[in-house]
Amino acid sequence: MSERIYIFDTTLRDGEQAPGCQLNTDEKITVAQALEQLGVDVIEAGFPISSPGDFQSVVAISKAVSQPIITGLSRAVEKDIDRAAEALQYAKRPRIHTGIGTSDQHIINKFRTTREKVLERAVAAVKHAKKYVEDVEFYAEDAGRTENEWLAQVLEAVIKAGATVLNIPDTTGFCLPDEYGAKIRFLRENVKGIDKAIISAHCHNDLGLATANAIAAVQNGARQIECTINGVGERAGNTSLEEVVMAFKKRAAALPYHTHVNSTRLYPTSQLVSSLMGMHVQANKAIVGRNAFAHSSGIHQDGVIKNRENYEIIDPQEVGVGESVIVLTARSGRAALHYNLQKIGVDLTKEELEVAYEHFLQLADQLKIVQDQHLRQMVEELAAKSTI
Ligand code: KIV
Ligand code: ZN
C-alpha cells in the first residue's frame, strides 16, 4: 500500500532567503497560487516578524489561497509567534511554525545558554502558539547535528505541549542519508507520543544530499517533506520539490509513497519561480533543467530515436516539458542528423545523408550546437551546388 507524503513547500520562506531571490507581495501571491495549482499540502508563506513586507505577504497569501495549509515561521519568541498568528488570521487552514536550535553547537555558540533553558523555551513557544491555532509545527533547528537522546527529550516535551508536526531540520546539510534515516527511526522508536505527530524532513543541500536525505527520512517514518521549487534556498539550497515528487512517482515499487502533486505542473512552476526570482535553473538540474531531456551524444541519440526508454526514465510530458530534444553537436551521428532533418521536412536518401553529414560535422565543430536554421541553410547551400 502506497502511503501519502505531505509536501510542505518553503520556496517563499527558506527559498526566498537565497541571496538575490527576494520577491515582492504580488510576486509571492503569483507563486503561492501556482503552488496551490501544483497541489502542495502546505505553503510556508514567510517569516512575518522579519519585515513589514513579509508580514503583508503572509496576510495576502492567506487571503488568496484556500486549499493548502498556510504557515509562517517564528522563533521561539512570544512576539514572533504573536506576529505570525496575526499574519495568519485570514488563512482557512493556519499553522504556526515555531522552534529553536537544539544542537550543542547552537546552544553554546549561538544562544550561549543551556539545554534546560532551550527545553523550557521550546515548550513555552508551542504552548503560546497553541493559544492561537490548533496546528503547531515545531522545528528543532540543526537537528542533524543534535544528539539523538536529547533531541528525543525535546520532542517528547513539545508533543505534550501540543505540537502536531515535528520538523527535524538538517540545517547545515551535514547528514549522510543513512545517518539521517537512522535519526528519524530512532525518534520514531524512542519518543513517547510520536504517533500523535507527523515527522517532517527538512534537508539542506550543502553536500548535495538533500533529496537523498529526505527520501531516507520517509523510508524511516517521516511523512512530510519540506522542499522548494528548483531546490532554491540558503547556501546550496533545500530539497528540491520536483526531485522528491518524481522519485516517488518513478520508483513506486521501491518507494511505496505518493504525493498529491500534479507532476505536469512541475516545469511551468519551475520556470515561473526561476523568472520571478531571477535565479537560473542549472542546465543539468534533474527534472526541470534545460538538458534534463536533451540528448547530445551519437550513441544516446541513436538509442532514443529507436526507443525513448533506452535513455529516458521520465516522459517529458509527465513533468510538463513539451518533448525531449535531440541536440545536434559534433558528437551526433547520422541517425540524429536524419531525425532532425526530417523534423524540419527534409528527407534525404542514404547517399545524400552521407554528403550532408560531412558538411554537418564541419558546421558543428564551428558552431558547437547546430540549430534548425543552420540545417536549413546547409541543405539550401548543398542543393544549390547540386550536391544533394
Ligand atoms: O534549516 C532550518 O533549520 C530551517 C528552520 C528555521 C525550519 O529552515
Ligand atoms: Zn532550512
Residue with cell 505570525: 84
User: Whose C-alpha lies nearest to ligand 1, atom 5?
Assistant: 141
Burial classification of residue 43, based on how many CB atoms lie within 10 Å of its CB (0-12 exposed, 13-18 middle, 19 or more buried): buried
Asked if pLDDT for residue 386 goes beyond 90, the answer is: no
Burial classification of residue 172, based on how many CB atoms lie within 10 Å of its CB (0-12 exposed, 13-18 middle, 19 or more buried): middle
Residue 366 banded pLDDT, cuts 50, 70, 90: very high
Residue with cell 553536500: 207
- The values of phi and psi at residue 22, to 5°, are -65, 145
Helix, strand and coil content of the chain, in percent to the nearest 5, comes to: 50, 15, 35
Q: Cell numbers of 213, please?
A: 536525505
Determine what percent of the chain is predicted with pLDDT higher than 70: 100
Asked if pLDDT for residue 191 goes beyond 90, the answer is: yes
Residues 6+ apart with CB under 8 A from 291: 283, 284
Determine what percent of the chain is predicted with pLDDT higher than 90: 99
Asked if pLDDT for residue 388 goes beyond 90, the answer is: no
Asked if pLDDT for residue 336 goes beyond 90, the answer is: yes
Q: Cell numbers of 212, please?
A: 537523498
Residue with cell 496551490: 36
Q: How far apart are CA 373 and CA 376, in angstroms?
A: 5
User: Cα of 222 to ligand 2 centre, how many Å?
Assistant: 16
Q: What angle do CA 186, 189, 190 make, to 5 degrees?
A: 80
pLDDT tens for 267-300 read 999 999 999 999 999 999 999 999 999 999 999 9
Domains identified in the chain and CATH numbers: 3-277 (3.20.20.70), 294-385 (1.10.238)
DSSP characters over 106-143: HHHHTS---HHHHHHHHHHHHHHHHTT-S-EEEEEETG
Q: How far apart are CA 316 and CA 301, in angstroms?
A: 16
User: Whose C-alpha lies nearest to ligand 1, atom 2?
Assistant: 171
Number of other residues whose CB lies within 10 A of the CB of residue 227: 30
Average pLDDT value over all residues in the chain? 98
**What is the pLDDT, as a whole number, of residue 387?**
83
Q: Is 167 in the pocket of ligand 1 (CB under 6 A)?
A: yes
Asked if pLDDT for residue 377 goes beyond 90, the answer is: yes
The predicted model gives 319-348 an average pLDDT of: 97
Task: Choose which residue among 141, 158, 235 to substitute to test ligand 1 binding: the one with the highest number of ligand atoms within 8 A of its C-beta.
Answer: 141
Q: How far apart are CA 129 and CA 95, in angstroms?
A: 9
Handedness of CA 326, 328, 330, 336 (dihedral sign): positive
3-state secondary structure 201-247: EEEECCCCCHHHHHHHHHHCCCCEEEEEHHHCCCCCCECEHHHHHHH
Which numbered atom of ligand 1 lies nearest the CA of 204? 1
- Report pTM: 0.96
Q: Is 338 in the pocket of ligand 1 (CB under 6 A)?
A: no
3-state secondary structure 20-73: CCCCCHHHHHHHHHHHHHHCCCEEEEECHHHCHHHHHHHHHHHHHCCCCEEEEE
Asked if pLDDT for residue 314 goes beyond 90, the answer is: yes
Which numbered atom of ligand 1 lies nearest the CA of 167? 7
Residue 152 banded pLDDT, cuts 50, 70, 90: very high
Q: How far apart are CA 158 and CA 236, in angstroms?
A: 30
Ligand nearest to the CA of 170: 1
pLDDT tens for 60-103 read 999 999 999 999 999 999 999 999 999 999 999 999 999 999 99
Number of other residues whose CB lies within 10 A of the CB of residue 66: 11
Please name which of 112, 87, 96 lies closest in space to residue 42, comparing C-alpha atoms. 96
ipTM (interface pTM): 0.99
Q: What angle do CA 319, 322, 325 make, to 5 degrees?
A: 110
Q: Cell numbers of 70, please?
A: 498556510
